[in-house]
Amino acid sequence: MSEVVLYSFRRCPYAMRARMALRYSGVAVQILEVSLRAKPLDMLALSPKGTVPVLNVNGQVIDESLAIMHWALAQNDPEDWLLKDEPATQSLMAQLIEENDQAFKVHLNRYKYAERYPEQPMEHYRTEGEVFLQKLELLLAEHEYLLADHPSLADVALAPFVRQFAHVDREWFAGVPYQRLQVWLQRFLESDLFIGVMAKT
């Protein structure tokens, strides 16, 4: 019988999206919650870079969250998160996730930890991040979710980061004119999938 183990940290957005993909796919996985101050030696032996998530599938190590998501969906993708029959949309999905992971995450970090980046005021970093929020708001004018009328890999890959951005200043986020994005995020936060992976065990 195969053994699948995920090293995770509950509040890490990368680990969140990996856990959601694994749960959605129905893969039986043992989740080990990691203390980032005392990372387990067995995890470091598998992935010396020491970041979560790390997936161990019978000795096969996958230590990038997006790769873990793709692995999970290759096992089972019952609601077509990968939008298999839509190559143009798949290309847009890849671009969105890359922009999230490369550019938006930088703005998010500087906004959330603005005291570490005193070169600019917090509002400057927030404004830079808002450019991505505006793009998502426009996409949601076309569909109930970012790329379709059902969740896709893009929604699940991005939502933990949008959540983090929104929670830096919840009062500000509640007042911005991104109503579709607010509804989309709230639906995500109330979903059985998100609640399930965030439950403390």
**Residues carrying CATH 3.40.30.10, the chain:** 4-78
Q: For each of the chain's 201 residues, which pLDDT tens digit applies?
A: 468 999 999 999 999 999 999 999 999 999 999 998 899 999 999 999 999 999 999 999 999 999 999 999 999 999 999 999 999 999 999 999 999 999 999 999 999 999 999 999 999 999 999 999 999 999 999 999 999 999 999 999 999 999 999 999 999 999 999 999 999 999 999 999 999 999 986
On whether the CB atoms of residues 169 and 108 are closer than 8 A, the answer is no
Question: Any idea what the Cα angle at residue 11 is, between residues 186 and 126, rounded to 5°?
Answer: 65
Measured between alpha carbons, how far is 158 from 102 in angstroms, rounded to an integer? 12
**Residues carrying CATH 1.20.1050.10, the chain:** 87-193
Measured between alpha carbons, how far is 41 from 60 in angstroms, rounded to an integer? 17
Give this prediction's pTM.
0.95
Going from the C-alpha of 165 to that of each of 34, 46, 145, 193, 196, the distances in angstroms are 23, 31, 19, 20, 21
Measured between alpha carbons, how far is 106 from 21 in angstroms, rounded to an integer? 24
Asked if the bond preceding 53 is cis, omega within 30° of 0, the reply is yes
CATH classification code of 87-193:
1.20.1050.10
| Domain at 4-78, CATH homologous superfamily | Glutaredoxin (3.40.30.10)
